[in-house]
Amino acid sequence: MEHFTIATVAQKSPDFRRVLWTGEKTQLVIMTIPPGGEIGEEVHEGIDQILTFVSGTGEARIAGETKEVAQGDLVVVPAGTKHNFVNTGPNPLVLYTVYGPPEHADQVVHRTREEADAAEAAGEDEPPTS
């Protein structure tokens, strides 16, 4: 059994991205976006994403719409939808997200967005295959 006190685990992680668990059809990831930082505009073809915000404040930019997000908010990003999440506050924007199917390498940790972007560009952040 996998069990996480997810808000606590997410709050304690300073890393930009940390994959906590990967299954055949879904993946659990925690993220910490520094003040002034962002995930970066992206589209996940064939992958749905559900993000839940643990602390901080920011903006969800989804398919040309912008909405403020804060602790307790949940945002759904359907597969194929352009999106970005931006930290607009003075503190880290902390969240956890579920991808279906998995998007990242199992157990991968990227300390910064730059590290994450470099790993993706080099093909080093690929989800496991069945």
The reported pLDDT for the residue numbered 93 is 98
Average of per-residue pLDDT across 75-80:
98
pLDDT digits (tens, 9 = 90+) for 54-63: 999 999 999 9
Q: Which domain holds residue 22?
A: 16-76+95-122
In a domain, 72, yes or no: yes
CA 114, 22, 86 angle in degrees (round to 5)? 35
Paired tokens of 94:
């902390």
Per-residue b/e over 15-31, b at no fewer than 16 CB within 10 Å? ebbbbbebeeeebbbbb
In a domain, 89, yes or no: no
* pLDDT over 80 (residue 86): yes
The reported pLDDT for the residue numbered 129 is 79
pLDDT digits (tens, 9 = 90+) for 105-124: 999 999 999 999 999 999 99
Report the predicted TM-score, pTM, of the whole model to 2 decimal places: 0.94
pLDDT digits (tens, 9 = 90+) for 15-52: 999 999 999 999 999 999 999 999 999 999 999 999 99
In a domain, 117, yes or no: yes
| CATH number where 111 lies | 2.60.120.10
Burial of 53 (0-12, 13-18, 19+ CB in 10 A): buried
Q: How many domains does the chain have?
A: 1
In a domain, 90, yes or no: no
CA distances from 64 to 32, 41, 67, 81 (A): 23, 11, 10, 10
Average of per-residue pLDDT across 56-84:
98
Average of per-residue pLDDT across 59-70:
98
